[in-house]
Amino acid sequence: MSYLAQNLEGLRERYPALVQTTQENRGGLLTVVPSREGSPSATHEGRWVHSGYDPRKEAQAWAEAQLLEWKAGELAVVLGVGLLYHVEALVALKPEGAMLTVVVPNIAEFNDAASTRPMEVWINRVDWVWGAPGGMAEQLATRSMPLRFMTYGSAARLHADVHRDLEAELRRIVAAKQSGRLHVAVVGPIYGGSLPIARYTVTALESLGHRVSWLDQSPHRASYDLFASGREPRHRATMQSRFADLLSLSVVTNLAEDPPDLVLALAQAPLNLAVLEHLRKKKFLTAMWFVENYRHLTYWQQLAGGYDYWFVIQQASCIDALTRAGARQVHYLPMATDPALHRPLGLTEAEQAEYGADVSFVGAGYANRRTLLPGWLSKDWSFKLWGNEWEGADGLTSLLQRGGTRIDTETCIKVFNATAVNLNLHSCAGDGLDPEADFINPRTFELAACGAFQLVDERSLFPDLFALDEMVRFRSVAEVPSLIRTWLADSSGRRTIAAAARRRVLAQHTYAHRMSELLAAIGMHQPDRIGAMVRGDRNAGVLGQRADAPPELAALLRRFPSGQRVELKDVAAQIKAKGAGRELAREELLILMLDSYRAETRDLV
């Protein structure tokens, strides 16, 4: 029988729009089948949405697992609809003072659930949001309670793209409202392309007001290279791996001496799996921003389960691969720019002559670049090539600047500013355009921030980041010469497009934007920890106004500036400073005792 009418009647008073939308849309997304236990279960495209044996028991176990973290005063946001067994179980177990919201990406699925099972007893004890991801994000953002996301995996996979877009929209909203301050330890690589990105990350976090411990590994580059000198490849790899393990232990020591709220590593940071597991045991929160193509550098396979959070520059296939390898939380976070560094420059005549050309390319000599660039040369325009690893590149040697040495960032910026048409060709292992064009390189954002015009190969993620009138893209090798010729003849058009791209990156694509989004994403999954800090709930003014704050503690908190984040150690220091010659209150003694315990147990090694 269909339970749709009686279930919708229970919703009609609070959610008339949802009732009407459900009545106007048919079900049929799910295939409802009986489970072995007898209650209805469901499949979608041949895969189970709930257990085929006992969906109630499965949902109950899942709900009980959520209670390990779900706290009073939090709003649980459930991703995954199915037949709503798991939501019914959560309603029965909901902590006092907590609330529950269910995201409905597809009304047909909700229709299937409401038609299949009687829910009128509890269906009105749940908040429901539905519609487009942006609209749902706006609704969730208006809630006054901290959000805790709960994903019912087997049902959530039906609409993973909607959930990803919802969370991306929501974290942008949350990022704009951040008022709290964190202590973030940033661990960079010994060398490589992610090293400057680590430095930009540090600068961005500091610009947002966070305290940053920069654990810079680049001073060890000379020692790392020394282990490679004169050794067989097998011995070289062993020595360098052992040296990286030593640096991992050094990082642990630094963290023990000044424990951060978050350990943020950049790609190729020397943190091995044993150290990451040790940090987890000591309750340190870790995140990796993997600013690499996951298909080319695959060491993530060994480290996937070690980090609490992964942030990646590719989407579906990359996120799926990391999840299969054991990563618990994987989020898309594209590259960006530092506009204080990458900026328009006024060049002297001498600089324009040295760095300028009709067409330039800056980058390393990957195979596809060696193959394609010679075909884009012409007597109709001057061409300069900058970068290293171009040895033996036939037809390009005479164009190579500074003998093919690696150029620094300031030189890159001058080249970008001095060039009429900057070519931006993403690297790939083959000899043509990247057939799996699912990431966008840093150069795209850096050229845009410089106000420089670029021709860039088409990427699948461009629609999310740049409009068509903000960047000229090419889809085939053959069209590049004609595009160069067209745009060299249109200086006004180049300036218009470059200016639009610069406005976009300044508004949405700086490293400050990315770090705000990263912290917002972690905060939404850690609402009582990072989330509380980012929201400013640990600031003195907020803590002092809490209804459950004892008068003695409130008086102590008033000694701090209202916007200052206050931790146990800070309050203890205030008590000690004011404690000489007076009898301490009971609350003060308890704070000192807890701080003493904290100090004794913080050692990591």
Task: Spell out the domain ranges in the chain.
Answer: 4-158, 183-336, 349-509, 540-601
Domain 349-509 in the same topology as domain 4-158: yes
Distance CA 87, CA 164 (A): 20
Q: What percent of the chain has pLDDT over 90?
A: 72
Residue 189 has a pLDDT of: 93
Distance CA 356, CA 43 (A): 61
Distance CA 417, CA 346 (A): 8
Sort strands 262-266 and 286-290 into parallel, antiparallel or unpaired. Answer: parallel
**Tokens representing residue 441 in the block:** 């390189």
Residue 574 has a pLDDT of: 75
Higher pLDDT, 290 or 591: 290
Asked if residue 342 lies in contact with residue 450, where contact means CB atoms within 8 angstroms, the answer is: yes
Nearest to 446 by CA among 473, 420, 480, 415: 415
Q: How confident is the model at residue 598 (pLDDT cuts 50, 70, 90)?
A: low
Residue 186 has a pLDDT of: 97
Residue 575 has a pLDDT of: 77
Residue type, 65: A
129-145: average pLDDT: 93
345-370: average pLDDT: 96
Q: Residue 181 pLDDT more than 60?
A: yes
Q: Residue 1 pLDDT more than 80?
A: no
| Other Cβ atoms within 10 Å of 86 Cβ, number | 27
The DSSP bridge partners found for residue 262 are: 184
**Tokens representing residue 81 in the block:** 């609809």
Distance CA 35, CA 12 (A): 31
Residue type, 593: M
Helix residue ranges per DSSP H, 117-159: 133-141, 153-156
Q: How confident is the model at residue 604 (pLDDT cuts 50, 70, 90)?
A: very low
CATH topology for 183-336?
A: Rossmann fold (3.40.50)
Sort strands 286-290 and 330-332 into parallel, antiparallel or unpaired. Answer: unpaired
Distance CA 484, CA 472 (A): 11
- Tell me the pTM: 0.86
Asked if residue 477 lies in contact with residue 372, where contact means CB atoms within 8 angstroms, the answer is: yes
Q: What percent of the chain has pLDDT over 70?
A: 96
Residue 538 has a pLDDT of: 76
Residue 105 has a pLDDT of: 96
Residue 108 has a pLDDT of: 96
Q: Residue 551 pLDDT more than 90?
A: no
| Mean pLDDT of the residues in the chain | 91
pLDDT in tens, 441-456: 999 999 999 999 999 9
Residue 563 has a pLDDT of: 75
Residue 419 has a pLDDT of: 98
Cα angle value 350/363/497 (rounded, 5°): 70
pLDDT in tens, 222-233: 887 776 666 677
8-13: average pLDDT: 91
Residue 581 has a pLDDT of: 62
**Tokens representing residue 165 in the block:** 């877009």
Q: How confident is the model at residue 20 (pLDDT cuts 50, 70, 90)?
A: very high
Handedness of CA 334, 340, 346, 351 (dihedral sign): negative
Query: How far, in whole angstroms, is CA 205 from its chain's centroid?
Result: 14
CATH assignment of 349-509, among 3.40.50.700, 3.30.230.10, 3.40.50.2000, 3.30.1490.20: 3.40.50.2000
- CATH code of the domain occupying 4-158: 3.40.50
What are the φ and ψ backbone dihedral angles of 266, each rounded to 5 degrees? -100, 160
Helix residue ranges per DSSP H, 440-567: 442-449, 462-465, 480-488, 491-508, 511-525, 530-535, 540-544, 551-557
Distance CA 269, CA 434 (A): 27
pLDDT in tens, 246-284: 888 889 999 988 999 999 999 999 999 999 999 999 999
Distance CA 392, CA 403 (A): 12
Residue 229 has a pLDDT of: 67
Asked if residue 2 lies in contact with residue 115, where contact means CB atoms within 8 angstroms, the answer is: yes
